[in-house]
A and B are shown apart, each in its own frame.
Chain A
């Protein structure tokens, strides 16, 4: 059984650019959530995908968007990057949406720096 993987590990972009981050969920998990973690803060929920559809969104603007594919892997896209978007982006997968008590397992994250 493989864990949650994310790519790339690190990324440097300039303001105004667009970025795509990728996540492969743990084997058998059909729910993927994305979080943004600024330095010294806890992760903040961006959105969640279940069976290829967005299923819940946090307080993030529309320039943050995502996709989930039939194999349950997922992408996070951020357009018009701003300096404040610099953060660690974490992907978490869980087994089943319907069980709200389900444990989420996190990937190693992508460190995004916006200059």
Chain B
């Protein structure tokens, strides 16, 4: 099956930069998503990578290396409101657009 691994928890300081890593098995791969989820709320879409490289979107950037089965989400100029869980997910089931999620990385931003 396809496994997605990401760190359980991270802490960072307001204004800093943090990188959240995600590794996955490459079989059946069809792109990689990042979602943000605040406690008690629904996941909200952050980014999607289907090609290798870095995609920048404001304070958030996402990187993908398909050959290495590796992605990261880079958050710059951290704000307190960035405290949330960050989920990486891949649509792995050959066109069904079914997402397999990692367990999420809980990021705590401190003043």
Question: Interface on A for B, CB 8 Å cutoff?
Answer: 4, 31, 33, 35, 40-45, 48, 55-56, 58, 90, 92, 94, 97-109
Contact of A101 with B43 in the complex, beta carbons under 8 Å: no
Instruction: Give the total of B residues in contact with A, Cβ under 8 Å.
Output: 27
Contact of B45 with A103 in the complex, beta carbons under 8 Å: yes
Checking B33, B42, B48, B87 against A107 with a beta-carbon cut-off of 8 angstroms, the contacting residue is: B42
- B44 (CB) vs chain A CBs: closest residue: A106
Query: Interface SS of chain A: helix, strand, loop or mixed?
Result: loop
- B95 (CB) vs chain A CBs: closest residue: A100
- How many A-B residue pairs lie within 8 Å, measured between CB atoms? 70
Q: How far, in Å, is A38 (CB) from chain B's closest CB?
A: 10
A43 vs B4: C-alpha distance in the bound complex, in angstroms?
A: 12
A102 vs B48: C-alpha distance in the bound complex, in angstroms?
A: 9
Q: How far, in Å, is A5 (CB) from chain B's closest CB?
A: 11
**A31 and B43 in contact (CB under 8 A), knowing A40-B103, A101-B30, A101-B91?**
no
The yes or no answer to B109 lying at the interface (CB within 8 A) is no
Contact of B96 with A56 in the complex, beta carbons under 8 Å: yes
